[in-house]
């Protein structure tokens, strides 16, 4: 009986102690925050007119340093961006607060497509192309009908890494209706 107990202790306890001492502890001290660059919303978006003509918005060939991307009410918001981190990217979220004509802001947000790192495979640099996020509604039925206010708005991109370090960036966008875009086009005689 004594030999059986000693054998069980050796068989059960020794491997448990041996394997627990091999546990890897991730040390992320001194690690920096993730970054995002080359952000574009609805790049090369199109608007089809009744006569068959196509208007291209946010043309990638005509992008300057002070360029603001134009979004159309009623269309889907797409994101193109490059995310980088020296440890491993985790996730990102896009949020847009749209001021309404009633004064109440309406929040639209979506989690981005998966860029999750694992212990064996660390994603440190990735480019997201045309990630479909959410549709921008014409109006919202809350207590009253809230119509989306046209004009300049901000979109926040919050992103993090596997060390739980996060950062966020804000980007200005121009939110317009289809009729407003056509009206501006007629004024410019394009």
pLDDT at res. 142: 56
- The half-sphere exposure of 46 on its side-chain side, counting CA atoms within 13 A, is 5
Q: Is the dihedral of CA 61, 97, 171, 130 positive or negative?
A: negative
Instruction: Give me the mean pLDDT over the 51-55 stretch.
Output: 80
Tell me the C-alpha distance between 65 and 45, whole Å. 19
* The pLDDT of residue 158 is above 90: yes
What is the enclosing helix (H) or strand (E) of 21?
Answer: none
Pick from 174, 170, 172, 171: nearest CA to 151? 174
* Interior/surface letters 120-147, b for 16+ CB within 10 angstroms, e for the rest: eeebeeeebeebebeebeeebeeeeebb
pLDDT tens sequence across 9-43: 776 666 666 665 554 555 565 567 899 998 989 88
Confidence band, pLDDT 50/70/90 cuts, at residue 127? confident
- The structure's pTM equals 0.74
Domains and CATH numbers, the chain: 32-187 (2.60.40)
Tell me the C-alpha distance between 10 and 171, whole Å. 62
Pick from 137, 134, 130: nearest CA to 177? 137
Q: What share of the chain is helix, strand, coil (3-state, %, to 5)?
A: 15, 45, 35
Q: Is the dihedral of CA 175, 173, 136, 57 positive or negative?
A: positive
pLDDT at res. 118: 73
């Amino acid at each position: 009986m004594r030999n059986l107990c000693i054998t069980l202790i050796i068989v059960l306890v020794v491997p448990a102690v041996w394997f627990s001492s091999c546990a890897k502890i991730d040390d992320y001290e001194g690690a920096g925050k993730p970054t995002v660059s080359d952000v574009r919303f609805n790049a090369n978006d199109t608007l089809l007119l009744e006569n068959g003509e196509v208007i291209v918005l946010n043309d990638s060939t005509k992008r300057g340093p002070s360029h603001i991307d134009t979004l159309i009410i009623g269309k889907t918001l797409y994101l193109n961006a490059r995310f980088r981190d020296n440890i491993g990217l985790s996730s990102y979220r896009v949020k847009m607060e749209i001021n309404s004509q009633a004064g109440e802001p309406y929040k639209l947000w979506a989690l981005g497509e998966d860029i999750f790192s694992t212990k064996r495979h660390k994603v440190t640099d990735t480019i997201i192309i045309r990630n479909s996020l959410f549709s921008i509604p014409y109006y919202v039925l809350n207590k009253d009908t809230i119509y989306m206010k046209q004009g300049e708005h901000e979109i926040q991109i919050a992103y993090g890494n596997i060390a739980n370090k996060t950062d966020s960036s804000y980007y200005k966008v121009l939110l317009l209706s289809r009729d407003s875009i056509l009206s501006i086009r007629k004024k410019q005689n394009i």
